[in-house]
Each structure stands twice: as C-alpha cells, then as structure tokens.
Amino acid sequence: MSKTLVVVGHGMVGHRLVETLRARDTEGCWRVVVFGAEHRPAYDRVALSSYFEGTDEDGLRLPPVAGDPLVELRLGEQVERIDPAARAVHTARGVTPYDALVLATGSYPFVPPVPGRDLPGCFVYRTLDDLDAIKEAAIAATERRGAGRRSGVVVGGGLLGLEAARALRLLGLSPQVVEIAPRLMPVQVDEGGGALLRRLVTDLGVAVRCGVSVDRITEGTDTRLLASLSDGVELDADVVVFSAGIRPSDELARAAGLRVGERGGVLVNDHCRTSEERIYAIGECAALAGRTYGLVAPGYAMAEVVTERLLGRSAASVTDQDLDTSTKLKLLGVDVASFGDAHASAEDSLEVVVNDPVAGSYQKLVVSGDAKTLLGGVLVGDASRYGTLRPLVGSRLPADPVAMIAPGGVEVGADSLPDGAQICSCNAVTKGDLRTAIAGGAHDVPALKACTRAGTSCGSCVPVLKKLLAAEGVEVSKALCEHFTHSRQELFEIVASTGVKTFAELVARHGTGTGCDICKPAVASIFASLGSRHILDGEQAALQDTNDHFLANLQRNGTYSVVPRIPGGEITPEKLIVIGEVARDFDLYTKITGGQRIDLFGARVEQLPAIWRRLVDAGFESGHAYGKALRTVKSCVGTDWCRYGVQDSVSLAIALELRYRGLRAPHKLKSAVSGCARECAEARGKDFGVIATDAGWNLYVGGNGGFTPRHAELLASDLDTDALIRTIDRFLMFYIRTADRLQRTAPWLESLEGGLDHLREVIMDDKLGICSDLDAAMAAHVAGYADEWRGVLEDPEKLARFTSFVNAPEMPDPTIEFVDRRGQRVPVGYDRGSQPVLIELEPAR
C-alpha cells in the first residue's frame, strides 16, 4: 500500500519535487497530495516579465502533474496548521494525514516599513495576480494621462527589481529604480560590474538612484503617488513596485514548533530534514546551515535529495557548498552573470579584470593566489563565456586567466572541462553525467536533455552540450532545431516540392511540437524566399523576428529606422526634398550611409505607417534594411563622370538592385559594382561584387566585412552583361537553397565541398542539371516582386499591428527619450565613453 506524502507549496521547487519523485518511484510507493495557495497550477516565476511580452499563463505553466493517478493537486487550499504529533495538516476543508511532509512554501516579498506602502498604486512583484494588478494600474494611468508622461518607481535594484523595471517599461511607464545599496544587484556583481550595469541600464532610459532609500510615500496630485527619498529628492509615480528582497515563508514551521534560523527559514540538515524527522523543507523556505537561497537551482538540488531520501537511498545529501548560486540572465536587454566566489572572499584570491567601457563589457575572474584555480567571476554586458567558465569553478584553469576573458582571447573547449564540472547548475548535471549519457546513445541535444535534464530549465548550458557532443566524437546532427530533424536545406526542398504554405502544416507533417525562435524565423525565411505571400499575412506574421515584424530595424532605445531604397545611390532632387521633409516633420535623425542610402532614425512604431505612406507616394519603396535580403548594390560613378571608368557601373548597379530587391535569403546580401580596376565601390568586400574590364565584367563572390572580413573570390572573368546577370541569378539561388540558417555567403562558400571550383561546375557548367530550375526560380522572384511597405499600407489588418500599446493604439511610448547632438536628436545615453580597455591583476581586498 502506498504511503502518503504531503507537499505544502506548488511553486517551481515543489513542482520539481513531485515531478522527480513520480519519475523515479517506479513501484508507486508514494501517493502525493499537493496543497497550493494559488488557484493556478505551477508556473515559471523566473520568466514572469515575459507575461508582458505576449506570453500568456499557459505559456508560463510548468508540465502538469494533476493527470497522474498518484498525485492529488489541491489548488487554492491553504494549509493553516501542521500537527507533527498526529502527522497531519489542517486546512479550512479538513485534515489530511501524512507519512512524510515536505514544506515548499517559498518566500514572500519584503516590503520595507515605509509610511504609505499600503496606498492604492503600491504593489509587490511576485505572482501572476500581482502582475495583473500592476497591468491594470498601468492601463488606468494611460487612460487618465493620455500621451503625457507615465512613470513608475521600483524600490529595489536587485534581480527582481530590474525585472520589475523591465515590466513597467513594457507597460509604457518610465521606470525609476531606487536601490539602498551603492550599486545595482549588490549580491551578484561587484563595484566595477555594478558601475557598468548602471550605465547600460541608464542608457536604456531607466533612471537609477543608488545609495538612497524611500522615506515615505504620499498621495500626490492627479491620483499620482509621491515617493520621498532619503536625499531629499521626490519622485512622482503612477505605480510603486516594492521589490526589495524576499523573506522565507516559515510561519507554518514556527507555529508547529520546528526550529528556524536566526534570520528566518526552516532549519534543515544535509538531508533537507527539519527538526521533525518526518518533515522536510526545500527551496526558499529552507535554511541550510542557517542560510536561505533565493534562486531556483538550489531548490531543485534540495528536491533531488529529498526524492532520493523518500525512496530509501540514504547516500543522498547536500551542503551549502554543493548549492550553485550562479546566475545568468538578461536584464533590460543587458547580459549579467555571476558564478562562484564572485566577490573574492577567499583569502589570498586574485581578481583579474578586463573592463572595456567603450564596448560596454566588464569581465572579472576570481582566481587562487597562484592564478591556477578558478574561484568565481562576474560578467556584465557580454556573458557569452559563462557557459564554459562556470563549470570550471574549483578546477585548474586551462589557460592564462587574462587570455580567457580578453577580447580575441582563447576559447575554452568542452574537452578542457573536468568530468566533475557541473555543466547544468539548474539540474546538477556534470560533464561526467553527460559523457555517460552520450556513451549510452544520447547523440544529440534533445536526447541529452531527455535523459539528463541538462538544458531544460534556463537553457544557458545548451551551447556547451553541443561542444561536448563534438568533443566526444559525435557527429553533431544537422537538424535545424529540436523540432525538425531536417537541415534548413532539406526543409527548403520540402517546402518547394510539397507546396506547404504554413508553419503549422510543415511542423505537423515533418516536425514535432510547436516550434521555437530558431525554426520559426528560418521557416519564415524559406517561405519568403519562395515568394509564397506577404511576410505579414496571417500566420506568417507570427513567425517573424522583431525587425521583420515591423518592417524596420529596432534601435537600442526602442525606436525604429526607416531606410528607403535608393538604387545605385542615384536620386533626384525631388526625392531628396521628400526625404528631407519627412525627416523634418517627424523629427528623425538623418544619416548618409556607406551603402549609398539615407537612413532616418528615431521613428516610433506607430509613426512608421505615416512615414512610409509619404515615401511610397513619392515613389520610394522598402530598402529591406530590416530583412535577411538584398540590402544595396553600391556603385561608383563609372563612365558617366569618371575619366578612368571603362563600363557604365551606375546603370548596372541600378539594374541589379531592382532585379534582386526583396530577395529573401539565409542572411543579408550586399553587392557593389566598380567601373574600373581602381575599385572605388569596394566590390571585393561584398557577397557578390562586379568590377568592369575593357572586355566586360569580372564577377567576385563570397566576400564580406564585419567581424571576419573576407575578400571575395573571382568566379568568372570578362562576362558580357547577359552572362553576368545569368551567373549572379544562379549563384544567389544556389546559395539560398543550400546555405544554413543565418550563414553569410563567405562561410557558406568556405564550407561548400569543392569550394569555388564546385560552385563554377554547378552554376556555369550545370554539373547537377539544376541550372534551369535556378533560372526559373529567379524569374519567378523578379515577376512576383511587390513592395512590402506598399502591401502594408493597402491592408487595414496589417496596419493594425503598428502600435506601441494595444490598449492605446495612438499613444506614443513615453519611455523613449532623446537629447540634442550636433543639431539632431539622438537617444539618451548615446555617449558610451572613450576610455581605453583596462586589464588589471590585483590582490582582492
């Protein structure tokens, strides 16, 4: 007969305990009764802010446990009392006996004893109900104030405080963060990292005040609140959100006579057992060695230990040294990570710092006194090295610590990590565990996730899983993602041959699940390359990334750029006047680019249709600066004006740009035409470039600038114009068919088996017999081209997408602010400094 386990609390940690126990209790030894104070089943509290980005409650919900016959889920039923002597819990609905009890009651928000904290408009940031209340208050403020400034004050500049600030911004309020400590995120980052974080956050339009506290909150004018700070400053706000930390919910334990820590929390031993033998505590309510943890990963580790104990595996234990408090997240778009001994508390430790304020990056490693062992670190602005650095904590460094974090330094491979290195801190999965799984047949990332749970929580370790597979000699699957076993090339052929028109149909017939942010835009690009329909038609719109969703490039302050097409850089005075008038009337920053275009910056999303209507009426069309498509075909002046020109480069550049405009590809495409060998158009730095000769045109392919500049290679010489265009047609179509997702032509050509010679054989000698297909595909593109912005302006349903706020379509975003610079407006915080990169090696204080 099954014994009864009662779990008090249905948050993330309580849910993990039930999920893990049911997966391992193959003999059904335990029947589980779960009490949840909320009326909702367990959801992902870590991702709460995504609730304001379109993720609904179902999207946040954790995998259900209610369907299990051995799990009874009682939502909205609060446990009022525990009776350890009778081994029973009491609720308003009755008494439930237990054989074992697990307290997973979590924590509650700490609200400082500030006078006025209970006024209407004051909230905490903890549950979906809290978020609904904040959202309702923000909507009410919008209705009251219209286009006027709407603001919110966040009390607390830690993890949750910055998440709350992000939420307020998403709701259209200008957030102001007040932190009593001298820096943001004082628990996770050090002084240097906090300074950069504050600057980056301020650059994004979030006002930050550190080293001050809120003395009182009073009712101001026009239903606003007034927050009075300790330095005498007063901040007006429509909403005040308290996010000043958490306190363990240990009231039930205290009332039942269980021992609690000096600073709160139910005291537990290394088995997570409380002072009562049959009662365990896990997660934020538990105090291990007197310390509580406000992160989900330590709670998951505790859930693992209790599961093993309940199943009679007495070896399971956990100490405070075992619990990983590493953190990696993106706050207001800024990467922040800390791991190990981030504050260099160990004796004789050294701090290695690479501070690049120009690039907006702060990297610090804490190492042992002999600089041989990694103890911890802080990463702000760029946390790309987190996945390989965090598992090395406590291990010998594979390279010089400066080289491991300096720009252009060494890359740490998965083979450098010891077997004991914890790759997935959320689920306590080591490299040794993963190697065992790989040896057992888990030969791709989905298989590793399924058998080890690595990468199934925050996902930050997934890149390391891929590296580890390669290091173990496994041929990494070419699958686009876990939802499609096919590569992008294979999916392209499937869509082209079957005529599938929607993502839903494609994933149903050839994939699994509902898709992700990898496969959805990739499939959207395939549909666009095949010219099936407008990219914002129906389901297509939901597949696009941010830029394609609004047919404009998103800038760092939340505004968008407007880039009309100017083929060959040739423009009439009348059209120049129109651009000038639009820039003047909408107060846009104007810049002539290196690609012979005029970019207009600073447009709010709701202004885009009005701007483009005037441009389209004047004869302009989309320049596709936002899309993975042809951008420009740059040119010199050629024989029209230049005394050295040998061919009409301007006419050819215009013809090529008009021919390939709107051509969607795996990545952006750039081109140029030079009228002579002096190469003023820089054609050899482009995806395809043309240089005039006395006998015709030379065609170069596979070049690009950017992080890894590469000269294009000569594909063919002295082509006449018809042969040139035919060869470019085939080159582009072959690239579109066979390149990987987000692969530029340069790496595609390098990865092409046989390289340039094979490319010649395919598109010039027709070795594969596909040239007629490539010709037909380009002809279909040219015949079917339609300007995307004109399509939007002619369709009311598409136009309805261009709003900042659903509840106030005409409302401008009040969080967007500008300052004047050289007679034009630029985003607040444009000046990122001009200090040099600093590399320091100094003893920790």
pLDDT of residue 634 exceeding 90? yes
Q: Say what the pLDDT of residue 140 is.
A: 86
What is the mean predicted confidence (pLDDT) over 318-336?
76
- The span from the CA of 662 to the CA of 648, in Å, is 24
pLDDT of residue 182 exceeding 60? yes
Q: Are 8 and 252 in contact (CB under 8 A)?
A: yes
Cβ neighbors of 645 (< 8 A, separation 6 or more) are 636, 637, 638, 639, 675, 676, 692
Q: Say what the pLDDT of residue 472 is.
A: 81
**What does the pLDDT look like over 794-823, one tens digit per residue?**
999 888 888 765 444 555 665 677 778 888
CATH 3.30.390.30 range(s) for the chain read 327-471
Task: Please compute Rg for the chain using Cα positions.
Answer: 30
Q: Say what the pLDDT of residue 807 is.
A: 47
**What does the pLDDT look like over 673-718, one tens digit per residue?**
999 999 999 999 999 999 999 999 999 999 987 666 789 999 999 9
Least confident piece of the model among 27-31, 75-79, 419-423, 827-831 = 827-831
What is the mean predicted confidence (pLDDT) over 283-301?
90
- CATH fold for the domain made of 327-471: Enolase-like; domain 1 (3.30.390)
**What does the pLDDT look like over 554-566, one tens digit per residue?**
887 778 899 999 9
- Range list of β-strands (E), 203-304: 207-210, 214-219, 225-229, 234-237, 239-242, 246-248, 266-268, 279-281, 286-288
Q: Say what the pLDDT of residue 810 is.
A: 56
Q: Say what the pLDDT of residue 786 is.
A: 93
pLDDT-derived band of residue 222, with 50, 70 and 90 as boundaries?
Answer: confident
**What does the pLDDT look like over 15-33, one tens digit per residue?**
999 999 999 998 999 999 9
pLDDT-derived band of residue 131, with 50, 70 and 90 as boundaries?
Answer: very high
**What does the pLDDT look like over 423-449, one tens digit per residue?**
887 777 888 888 888 888 888 777 888
pLDDT of residue 834 exceeding 50? no
- Decide: residue 53, CB within 10 A, 0-12 exposed, 13-18 middle, 19+ buried: exposed
Cβ neighbors of 823 (< 8 A, separation 6 or more) are none
CATH number of 122-244: 3.50.50.60
Q: Is 419 helix (H, G, I), strand (E, B) or coil?
A: coil
Q: Are 309 and 271 in contact (CB under 8 A)?
A: yes
- The span from the CA of 648 to the CA of 660, in Å, is 19
Q: Global pTM?
A: 0.63
- The span from the CA of 70 to the CA of 799, in Å, is 51
What is the mean predicted confidence (pLDDT) over 720-734?
97
CATH 3.50.50.60 range(s) for the chain read 3-108+248-310, 122-244
Q: How far is CA 198 from CA 192, 194, 195, 204, 286, in A?
A: 10, 6, 5, 10, 32
Q: Is 798 helix (H, G, I), strand (E, B) or coil?
A: helix
Q: Say what the pLDDT of residue 833 is.
A: 45
E strand or H helix at 488, and its extent? helix 488-498
Q: Say what the pLDDT of residue 635 is.
A: 95
What is the mean predicted confidence (pLDDT) over 192-210?
89
**What are the structure tokens assigned to 123, written together?**
């909230």
Architecture of domain 3-108+248-310: 3-Layer(bba) Sandwich (3.50)
- The span from the CA of 726 to the CA of 746, in Å, is 20
